[in-house]
Amino acid sequence: MAYFTQQLINGLVLGSIYGLIAIGYTMVYGIVGMINFAHGDIFMIGGFIALITFLILVSIGLTTVPVILLLVLLVAMAMTALYGWSVERIAYRPLRHSFRLAPMLSAIGMSFALTNFAQVAQGARVKPVPPIIPGGYQLFERDGFVVQLSNIQIIVVLATLVLLAVFTYFVSQTRMGRDMRACEQDQTMASLLGVDVDRTISMTFVIGAALAAVAGLMYLLYYGLVDFFMGFVAGIKAFTAAVLGGIGSLPGAMLGGLLIGLIETLWSAYFSVEYKDVAAFSILIVVLIFLPTGLLGRPEVEKV
């Protein structure tokens, strides 16, 4: 029971990171109707920006950890949001009214461009950092196994819950959120009613990229490393989470992220770690057989 509890905690933390990335996928799909395959690499860029900012702040003599983390978070969100805006302007906006595969192929090309840019700029080696937030709590001990909850795990889960609550309020209660929901239903009608569709879509990419930056920072703090290839792996997992939860549904994206994180962690703990990805994708296939729109997804209504 103690070992299971520990793996449950680890799975929830990993799933929280996947969920933050998955929100970006589901937002773009909900409004534009396309998958932003460069979103995983935006997450990777956010991790690198967080690392570089952290090193710069430490090098100039700043030692207060809460202040450093706040500055790193703000800089990473701002800079990564700029990358997200650039992806929309370069890879999506010129091809928005082209045939449906064109933006997808353009986004895949942007993904490769960002991956190789990070590899050339930062090198192919893994960039480790020492533990930034040490310490934690021992919850209980059973049969010689101690269940531990680290401070960084608490921070990751709390940050995810706060961001989910804030963003849910933003989408449901603010003017920009209403514009997003209007564009999701019908971009032409939204434009006729005075909604700036281009600005709304750009803001969707910007917000999704900012959330990916938070996920990148959480990944850096939790695992203590970043590398140029981590965006591909995490992006695929987060996309799987968005599909599992129901692409286009914000709660579904977070639910899917938590499920993928728990499946990976529990499978690695009790079965062969080499097949954890197989287990995650197999469960996705089973769910989609019985629920084609995902766990919380809604069937698309054809507009005529």
pLDDT, tens only, 38-64: 999 999 999 999 999 999 999 998 888
Give me Rg for the CA atoms of the chain: 20
Q: Could you tell me what percentage of the chain is helix, strand and coil, using 3-state DSSP and rounding each to the nearest 5?
A: 75, 5, 20
The phi and psi torsions of 3 (rounded to 5 degrees) equal: -65, -40
Long-range contacts from 278-287, C-beta under 8 angstroms, 24+ separation: 280/237, 280/240, 281/240, 283/244, 283/259, 284/240, 284/243, 284/244, 287/244
Q: Does residue 303 surpass a pLDDT of 70? A: no
Task: Give the Cα separation of 22 and 300 in Å (integer).
Answer: 19
State the distance between the two ends of the chain, measured CA to CA, in whole angstroms.
55
Concatenate the DSSP letters of all residues of 69-136 into one string.
HHHHHHHHHHHHHHHHHHHIIIIIGGGTTS-THHHHHHHHHHHHHHHHHHHHHH-SS-EE---SS--E
Q: Helix H segments across 131-186?
A: 151-173, 175-185
The mean pLDDT of the chain is: 88
pTM of the model: 0.91
User: What is the DSSP pairing of strand 225-226 with strand 136-142?
Assistant: unpaired
Q: Does residue 29 surpass a pLDDT of 90? A: no
Per residue in 117-148, pLDDT tens? 999 999 889 998 888 888 888 888 877 788 88
The pair of structure tokens assigned to 300 is: 């698309």
pLDDT (0 to 100) of residue 76: 95
Apex 109 CA angle, 80 and 22, nearest 5: 50
The pair of structure tokens assigned to 74 is: 């703000």
